[in-house]
Every structure is written in structure tokens, then in C-alpha cells.
Structure 1
């Protein structure tokens, strides 16, 4: 809502079909006439029903824009004694980072629903939440999961990211740290937006200081060089969409440009990259007091974030705030390996453009952590590729790559191509962060033969077939890899052969 506008709650379009079939997906479907597209309120004869062996069923709506979700109305199956008795509701702004609708205890809210096939049960969301993607995850049911439903809410509405808590001390001193500090009174805990220097509020008591002891209003490192950084450990995983920076409160010192790195575990770090696959440099401040907002082209899902000053006026000095939402629960999406490493994906599902040998260097050796060799094509050129047939549509969230195990050969850059229906209809993974035109995305690969390097797909991709095509390599093409995602599941408008 903006400018005090009141937005009316209304059905969002399941029953009247303003939500199209293509916006609906599910973990699985009993058959083509009991798939996600039949989960519409008052639909006669049918409902969504997952496969019997689906242990974690869900159905999802992509609203295509962000809405304020206020309630869900559910029904069972019209022509059988099947219905859902309880469920969870995870939601997401980007289809990648998920969190659950929470109860008063701060735990995922269990919604109790139907007791027969046709009665309507309303469950309000308290509090309401803003999302583009909404799922229903059944927990208990009568005979078999069967569901018809409608979502209620208001919008579409613009998504305004929240401050994550540096300025107001929701993030405590113990979660701030830095490469170095000029003095104890200049350390990371003072890198808070609008910190005034002479008083503190939050989890500690106010300081009483004399004018000679007045606290400088910023983080100031011991050295002025490119090895300095200040970091925030958010403890949990958050969706981070931007950063606000500010100079020192009591002197003309500020950071004029900086880079940002992020981590899921506080150990493995990645920099936000620009279109040339170099560290993205953000423009900082031009005075000591004016806050400057930088919004990331692609939101991060991260537990920890660092700001690395690159240029500064007089001396590095920084106050900041993070923008985002969370904490987020990733609903088992991020690290689900689809089966190259474990062997669940059989050799018959793998193919390659060529192989230097049929022994240890063909497509079946391209499995992450495979002990002997890896995939090594006969020729080093841009016509080489390796392909996986997942045998069903999956929701792909990323790829992990690795070099050849027995030689210093690895892929440094590559492209990814996918298809839902056939191997002859390839669509490249693209990016549009440098302008409106979409270009084929060049993924950064490995820098040695053993380390893992993970690239995320944001947003995730629905596909059955996946192809990796090396673009650059060290000495010779050598590759082992794993796909990340979830599934399989059926799409209402896609026939999988």
C-alpha cells in the first residue's frame, strides 16, 4: 500500500481462472486430469492429487507479481472421499528463497482444514505476508491427498525491502566483525547507519563519555588498503537485496566505492560479479552524512555479508545498513543433489559430444567426486558438450562443477542449456543484469582440478534435459559435475515423453 491507499481483499484467481494453468505446478500428479490445473475451487469431479509414493507433496502458484496474501480457502475432491486435513504454507518473493507462514510461537503454522469433500474451510494468514510464489504442503489427509483451493489477498503491490537491523540494534554487536580496527573505539560494532558517536542504544546500556572520549561515528580500519572489510553475520539465512552506506559522523572521511561478498556458511565466500565476471564495484558516498542506497541486480540468499572498500576520501570510514527479508527457509531446495554423484542418474541418461577414451573419460565419468578421470572430450573447441536426461521435469536450482581428478584439466567458463520436451529444443540460461536485452549467461567455473564451484540459477529453471557447454578451460577440457534441484513433478501443460 502507498499513500494511505486501502487495498481490498479479493480472490486472486484460482476459481475464475485469471490464474492460468501455466502458473500452477506440483511435486507430482496422479494423472493428467488430477494435476495442478484441476486444484481450482468448486471444480467439479476432479482435484489435484499427487502420486501415491510422493512423500512430500506440494502444489504451487506463481502469481507473477507480488501480492499481500491474507487467507486460503480449501476444499476436498468432489467425486471421492479424499481431502487434506492439515497443511503448511511456504512462500517466496523470487521462487528461490522460501519461508513459512509462522504461528504465534515463531514456528511454521500448521493450518487445519477439511473434514469432508465439499465443505469450505477458511484459514487466515496472521500476519498477512507479501509473496509472488505460494505453496500448500499437505501434512495429513483422509484416504489420499486431494485439494481444491483459492487464495485471497490484495495487490499487486510493490515490494519494499526491510532494513535487517544494524541501525536499530536488532543485529547485536556480537554479529559484527572486521578485518582490522584503528582503535577499540573504531571497530565493527560502530558501523551502524546513523550511529551518532556519542551514545548507543540497543542490547547494551548507553555510554557516558566526556568530550575527549567521544566515540567516532563509524568503523575505521587500521590500514587504508584493499584488504579491509567489515562483515555482518546474520546467524540465519536471509534474502539480502541491497546495502545503504554512510561516512563517518564526526569527520570528513567516507568510502567512495566498494565490493560486496557473501556466504552461506561464513567459510566459503563469493563476490557479487559484474557482466565481465569481475567483482562488481558499487558507487559509495560523496559526503560524510548522506546515505547512499545500492540495490543488487539479483537478490542474495546469504547468512553473512561483507563490504570491501575500494576507494575512499582521506581515510576508510563506514556506517551501513543491509536491506532484505527473512529469515528464509529454503524448503529443501538449495542443496538437493539430483543424483550424478550418488549414481541415481544412470549412465544411460548421460551423453557427450565426444570422449578422448571410452574407459575413464566419457560421460559416465563426469560425476562429482568421481575418483578416476572425468569427462574429457577428444577435441578442445566450442563444439563440445555434455548432457543429462533427468527422465522427468525437475526444478533446477544450480550446478556444482569440478575438474578432472587425475590431471590439471578443468573448465573455467561454461554455458547451460535446458529443455522440457526434447533434446532438439534447447534454451540457454540467460541474464539481463547489464541492460534490458537478455544475453546467454557465461558461468564461472573452476580454478583447480579438485575444488567444487557452485553456480545458482536465479530464478530456478523447469527442465528435463540439461546440457553444459565449455567456453574456456585450463590446458584441456576436464569436467565432473552435479545438478541441484527438486522433483520430479508434472506440469499441467507439458507432456513428458
Structure 2
């Protein structure tokens, strides 16, 4: 990543830290919006539905209509309401309401918290004693209490101490929770599978149809225990949960009823997800219909680049939509990844350390270190001439540079970091020849080692032009060039050709590639 991009990313991260320090950690954490599901709420007791249908633990959410709220079964000071936030959050406050349309509310409570629902601590006051919070004074107003100092917890309990008429409560937890975000959405995450059915009519069963928001699904071609759906998250990220749905685009009822999870950082060595001291992989409960989301939070989050879901049992057929919950990646992308724009998510650099070729044999020789073609994919964006690949027409009429991606990929664009001779090197002959350069063109093909005329006059349609950048408005002489293909182009080989300005006093020209990144 070039210096300018690094500065923008640094400023963005500092902005996030400033917002956090400036009191921006005060967002509702999901009871009001429904992000906290009903199964994440529990209580010591609840008034039976046959006695009062408006009393239920799932109604323990701020601004519930009519007389809905959580109501304890008895009028005793030993009741509690528990919220599972799914993943750890920084909690800075709680908001409470009484039971609307009733004269029932909690006037005093204490608060305990935990990371695992086994070991609990209470918040304390300045004297180190268990803190007692003042509750509501009527059934409608919202009472906000600060948690000072903030606490970090996954589980929150409200312990009822005093009340008016009956212990009844509506609640919202306030704070910030970065690691409760969906991190598996394409195009930033690549989804693959062990097998799948090809596209048929209006239905599709391909891996890219498996993300959680699609109206289609991935369907395995084989119905056995060896099938898997894989997410490539790019830079390793912390995974804290998984959610699944069935297949909605058919009248057939198809979904996965249970599954296991494995993860890896290199796609070679895989680890099965286990909990505690268990010897066998954890089997997660799947779906019971094709539309309802099933969500699991992990008791032991892990950090990985690759995550696989292995269907264990299924209903009629293996068909699945899925998503991963975790922490978005911040900071430098690391080797083998790039940001297309300074503030976008990191994606894989498909050209990283892949084999290269040029039609000028000098720069393709293994022992030719100065300007060698492989320097453009070594992962270093240093704009020092000795670290860059050189493309010129000294020995060839139309120079061509190529990278072999290893297999057919969907190419969306190319980021080219160039050398512009800005006082960093004393070899001015290259600097002079740069200004004889007229344009650079990027092509995508499934055929290797093509000459320039074969790229421009491909009769079999095996070559597709991605984009051209010319010297108009000095666009060609920027340090960072972005070739946007406009659409995804399938191909294994990416080419860059250079062309000079016609009718110059010298026909020699040079292009210097410090780093070529393909996404």
C-alpha cells in the first residue's frame, strides 16, 4: 500500500478512536431493534401466560406497545432478567421503563455481568459496595442509568430490589459492540464449496448464492458427509458466531439440520471447532424450516482466514445460506491483500507472488535482478527503481508483461504502483523514457504468453480488455493507477501492455511497475 493510502487509513482509525473516546460508545445494543433475539432473553421467573398474556420475557424490550413487559411471577426481591448480548460488549449504561398501561415499575435494581454466564460480578459504587441504581418513577418514562466505569461483558443481569405494585420491566442495554457484525458478505468474502449444481433456469445452487441475504442458496451436488461450504475472509478475522437459513427459491423443503465448523489460516491445515475439553467437534443445531434464521454465538471465538461449514444432517437435501459474525479487520491489510480504495475492506491480491512472464527475455531471466518481471508481484510497494519491474521496447517492439494467477479467477480490476523518478534514483535515463509512454492496457485471458498483436486481435474471443489509462491529463504519470474492468472478467492470465507516443524524436519508452495487484 502506498504512503498516501497508509496515511488515510491511519487517519480513519484515529477518527474511530476519537469518536470512542468522545463518548460515542452509547448505542442501543439490540433489545429495541430486535438484534437481540428472543432466545437471548431469560428470567428467574415470569407471570404465566394464562394469568396475563401481556407478560413475557420476550416483551422485556423498551417501547413495547400496550401493557407488554416482563413481569416476575411473584412480588419478592429475588428476581432477575438476563440479556445475552451474543458477544462481549462495552456497556456504558442501561435504560428502563415500567409496564405501560399499568402502574407497575421497578424503582431500584442492581446489575451483575459475566463473560461466560458462570462467573458473575456486580457493578460497585465509589465505596466499592454493590451499586444500587435508581429505577423508574412511572410506567411510561425512560430512565437512563450510566454504568461507571464501563464494563465489558457478554451477559447482563438486572436484579430487582424494589418496585411499585409489581416487578415489571422493559429494558435496553447501551454501549458499543464492534465484534457483532456480519463479516462474510461478498464481494469482500469469497465463497466456495466442495460441490454444487450448475445454474438451472431461474434457480441457482452455486456457492456465491450462499450468503445470508440472498433469495437463493448453495446446494451440494452430492448428499454425503464430505460436503462443505467455505468462506475466505481475506485477512484473518475473529469469528464469534454463525447464522444459517434454508433454501427459499423452490417449493421443495430443503435445509441443513445440523453441522460442524472447521477453520484454517492456509487452507491446508484445518482445525475442527470444539468447546471446553471436548474431544469431538461441536455439532451445531441447524434449521427447522427454509426461512427462519438460526444463530449461534461461539463460547470460544477463533481467528482465521478460512472457515468451513460441514453439513452433518439435512432435510431432503443439502441446501444452505450462511453468514459469519465477528470483528471487521482494521489497520494494514498485510501481505497478499490490498484495499482498492483507502477506506474499503481488504481483499485478496490474486497476483501476490505468482509466476510472471515478459516477452523481453532479459527481464524474465531468473538471474536478471535489475528490473526482473517478478519484482512486480513480490508484495513490496516500495517505489525505488531497484525494487521494481521494468518494461521497455529496447529489444521488442511491443512489450508485454503477464502474471499467471494459477487458475481461472474472476478479475474485477488491477492496481498498479509505478515509479515516476521523483528524485529517488539517479538513473535519469529511465525517467526520460517514461515521458515517451502513451498508454497502458490491461487484458484478461485464459491463454498464456501472448504477444501484443495476439491480445489486440484475438479471433477466438479468449482475450478481454479490462481497461486503458493514457497520458491524457497526465493520468498515466500518477504513482497509483487503478484499472477498473467495469465487470468481472474470468481468466487465469492478466496482461499489461505498454505503447509509446508516435512521432517522437526517440521511439524508446519505459514503464516501471513497482507492484501489480489484481483483485
Give the TM-score of the pair, scaled to structure 2.
0.37
Structure with the greater alpha carbon radius of gyration: 2
